[in-house]
Amino acid sequence: MNRTKGRAGSRTQDRPREHVEHVTARTRAWSPAKARAHFRSGATGTTAGWSAGHTQANLISVPADWAYDMLLFCQRNPKPCPVLDVTDAGSWSTPLAPDADLRTDLPRYRVWEHGELVDEPTDVVRHWRGDLVSFLIGCSFTFEWALSEAGVPMRHVEQGRNVPMYVTGRHCRPAGRLHGPMVVSMRPVPPEHVAAAIRESALMPAVHGSPVHCGEADVLGIEDLTRPDFGDPVDAEPGDIPVFWACGVTPQAAVTASRPPFAITHAPGQMFITDARDEQYRVL
C-alpha cells in the first residue's frame, strides 16, 4: 500500500506543475556552474536532462546529533542512499562543486520540522543552522545520459516532466532513530531496451545502479502508476515496461516516518548539479 497518501506535502501533483523550461540542446550544454547560477537566481523546476555528462545529487541536511544515524542509514541502505559526500557541521560547500553554495544553488528545497513539511523555498539561507551536516546522495539522473546513448528513451525528458517517484511497501533497514520505506523512480522502457537499461545503470552503483524491479508495480506495493507520490505522471508508449530504480528521495520518506526535529532536503527531481563527471562513477 502506498504509505504517503494523505500526508501534507507528499503529493506534488496536487500543486501546479513547475518547470524552468523544457530541456533543450542549450540547457544540455550548459556548464554546471551556469546551471547553478540560473537556479540561484530563483529559477525552479526539474533538472532532468541538464548539464550533460555531469553528476547530479540529492541533498539532505540534518542536525549533527542525527548525522550518525543518517550515515548509518545510508550505509545500511546503499541502493537508495549511495553517499557521494558528507559535509562538516555548518558547512554549505562540497568538493563536488567547490564554488557552489548548498543553501542557494538547487532549484527548490524542502524544510521539515518533526517530520512535517513546513516550507518549500528557493533558497534556505534563513533556515540554515550551524549544526547542520549535509549528505549528498547519488541520483539516477546521472545515468540517464548513459541510457540515452545506449538507445533507451527517456519519456519524462521527452515530455518535459519530472520523473515519477513512488513510496513502496519495502522497508529500509533501520538505523538508530531512522526508519522508513524505500522510494523508487520509474521510467517506461520499450522491451527491446530493457536489457540495455539494466546493463548501463548497473555500471554506476554510486548513483543507484541496476533497477530493483521491472514489470508490475503492485509487486512493490504501488497501487497506481498514474498517481506518483513525487514528480509527474509520465505517458508510456504501447508495450513499454515500467522499470523501477531505488531513489534518493528515500531519506525524505525516512524524515516523514522518523520525525527528526529539523531537516532540509531538495525538492524531488530538483537536484544539485555537481562539477563531477558521470564517468567518475562508472565501473569499468
Tens of pLDDT, residues 222-249: 999 999 999 999 999 999 999 999 999 9
* Kind plus residue range of the DSSP H or E element containing 155: helix 155-158
The torsion angles phi and psi of 135, rounded to 5 degrees, stand at -110, 125
What CATH number does the domain containing 32 carry?
3.30.2040.10
- For residue 23, what pLDDT band results from cuts at 50, 70 and 90? low
Is position 168 within any domain?
Answer: yes
Confidence of residue 139 (pLDDT cuts 50, 70, 90): very high
pTM above 0.85, yes or no: yes
Give percent of the chain with pLDDT exceeding 70: 91
First to last CA, the chain: 38
Residue 274, in any domain of the structure: yes
8-state DSSP, 228 = -
Strand partners, 111: 119, 264
Residue 12: inside a domain: no
Does residue 55 form part of some domain? yes
Q: Is 224 a member of any domain?
A: yes
261-274 per-position pLDDT tens digit: 999 999 999 999 99
Specify the pLDDT at position 70.
Answer: 98
Each residue of 70-101: pLDDT tens digit?
A: 999 999 999 999 999 999 999 999 999 999 99
- Its domain, for residue 76, covers 25-281
The strands making up 165-171's β-sheet, listed across from edge to edge, are 165-171, 181-189, 241-246, 213-214
Distances (CA, A) of 50 to 33, 133, 220: 12, 27, 29
Residue 18 lies in a domain: no
In a domain? residue 10:
no
Residue 6 lies in a domain: no
Find the helix or strand (DSSP H, E) in which 38 lies: helix 32-40
pLDDT at 10: 41
Mean pLDDT computed over 158-180: 95
Total domains, the chain: 1
